[in-house]
Amino acid sequence: MNAAYRTELLRRHSPWRTVERLELATLQYVWWYHHQRLHELLGYQPPDECEDTLNSTPRTCEPAIPTLAIT
């Protein structure tokens, strides 16, 4: 996210007149990034929609890495 933040917000809209304006723009950018920006790795969904989908899908309790048997 840091690279996107620098490219999409800081470089495009600089210089900033006050720290407060930069802080407000940062808050707006973070909200947009999580609620509206489409992410390729998430199937072109915003992160909050993807999270809602994951939370509504039943999951199994299987470990990602199988445990090794001790002999």
- Work out how many domains the chain is built from and give that number: 1
Task: Determine, yes or no, domain membership for 63.
Answer: no
Task: Determine, yes or no, domain membership for 15.
Answer: yes
Mean pLDDT for the stretch of residues 18-26: 89
Task: Determine, yes or no, domain membership for 70.
Answer: no
Per-residue confidence (pLDDT) for residue 65, from 0 to 100: 62
Does residue 29 contact residue 9 with C-beta atoms inside 8 Å?
yes
- Domain containing 35 equals 2-55
Q: What is the pLDDT of residues 39-52, one digit of tens each?
A: 888 888 888 888 88
Per-residue confidence (pLDDT) for residue 27, from 0 to 100: 92
Task: Determine, yes or no, domain membership for 62.
Answer: no
In whole angstroms, give the CA distance from residue 11 to residue 15: 8
- Does the predicted TM-score (pTM) go above 0.85? no
Task: For 46-71, give one letter per residue: b (16+ CB within 10 A) or e.
Answer: beebeeeeeeeeeeeeeeeeeeeeee
Task: Determine, yes or no, domain membership for 17.
Answer: yes
